[in-house]
Amino acid sequence: MVSGCRTIPFSQGSAAETLAAPENKGAVAVRDRPKVTRVTRGFCLSLVLCRVPEAQLKSIVWQTLQAVNFCHKHNCIHRDVKPENILLTKTGVIKLCDFGFARILTGPEDEYTDYVATRWYRAPELLVGDTQYGPPVDMWALGCVFAELLNGNPLWPGKSDVDQLYLIRKTLGDLIPRHQQVFRSNVFFSGVSIPEPDTTEPLEKRFHGMSLYALQVMKSCLVMDPSLRLSCEELLELPYFLEDGVNWGREGERLGRRHDKGSRRRQPGAQYLPQLPNSNISPAPDVKKQVKHKYHLPNI
């Protein structure tokens, strides 16, 4: 397995079991029974961040959104989306891996640990210690990954949680009132305050050469208020994925078919997870419609 990426065995949680069920088809990588790893030929996205052509970048983002959308539609939140957990195969197919922090969503008002996700990709609600959050934490992380894909460097490489909040504040401004209150009441931050930035550097300034459509995708993820971040399905409908006359849904199908054929040639009879959904809507079974951003994870 590529260094920095790992699969999650069935024994570690119901999230991996749910996503790996035969009827659930998506761009996720879990360990098959009993111990055969199915994505050993992938590359960590972090290993190729500096060598991603623009067309491939858009394909990577599109496929990653599909993978996270697949999880969300199955009431699962990943909670550790970062370059090291995104595999890129030789044929350009994306696999989302490492579900060690993933949990199945249950219902509103649940509280659970804030100590998830890698600091550089951690949403403000996680950094301040909020114990009520949902799928928008994945959307924030996706925005950070997208920004890193554009220039090869982490967007906010904080050295501590407070430093991370400072860097975010320097770009996006103050925390929302709820997060300010959570920060003040968190005993971990007792006697500590977030430094006041001398200057601000908004995303438009940091990425002045980026197209307006690409900037729209990033800004739609990196919103301080979690309830205002767009979902995966909403992001996939933005003009960024409709320009250039490329149908990314069909492109994903083509890459998936090529990868499936190659897999069958290498190991006849092996049961591989399909690579990509066939459209912008993940092929998850129908589930009861739920209130957006209101479902939380159980205590762990």
Determine, yes or no, domain membership for 274. no
Specify if 24 maps to a domain: yes
Q: Which residues are catalytic?
A: 80
CB 291 within 8 A of CB 227: no
Q: What is the CATH number of the domain that holds 123?
A: 1.10.510.10
- Reported as a single tens digit per residue, the pLDDT across 207-233 is 998 999 999 999 999 999 999 999 999
Report if residue 284 sits inside a domain.
no
C-alpha distances out from residue 73 to 33, 76, 95, 190, Å: 24, 7, 17, 38
Distance CA 28, CA 26 (A): 6
Domain that holds residue 42: 10-266
Does 289 fall in a domain?
Answer: no
Which two structure tokens, joined as six digits, stand for 27?
A: 């761009």
This prediction has a pTM of 0.72
Whether 254 is covered by a domain: the verdict is: yes
Residue 211 neighbours by CB under 8 Å, 6+ apart: 240
Number of domains in the chain: 1
Q: What is the dihedral of CA 244, 246, 248, 254, to 10 degrees?
A: -150
- What confidence tier does 30 reach under pLDDT thresholds 50, 70, 90? very low
Q: Using 50, 70 and 90 to split pLDDT, how confident is the model at 89?
A: confident
5 belongs to a structural domain? no
Rounded CA-CA distance 21/167 in Å is: 40
* Nearest Cα residue to 275 out of 296, 292, 250, 253: 253
pLDDT digits (tens, 9 = 90+) for 226-268: 999 999 999 999 999 987 666 555 555 555 555 455 544 544 4
In this structure, is residue 154 part of a structural domain? yes
DSSP code of 153? S
Query: Higher model confidence: residue 152 or residue 157?
Result: 157
Confidence label for 4 from pLDDT (cuts 50, 70 and 90): very low
Question: Range with the lowest mean pLDDT among 46-55, 150-159, 161-170, 185-194?
Answer: 46-55
Q: Judge whether 225 lies within some domain.
A: yes
Confidence of residue 186 (pLDDT cuts 50, 70, 90): very high
State residue 12's pLDDT score: 38
- More confident of the two residues 164 and 90: 164
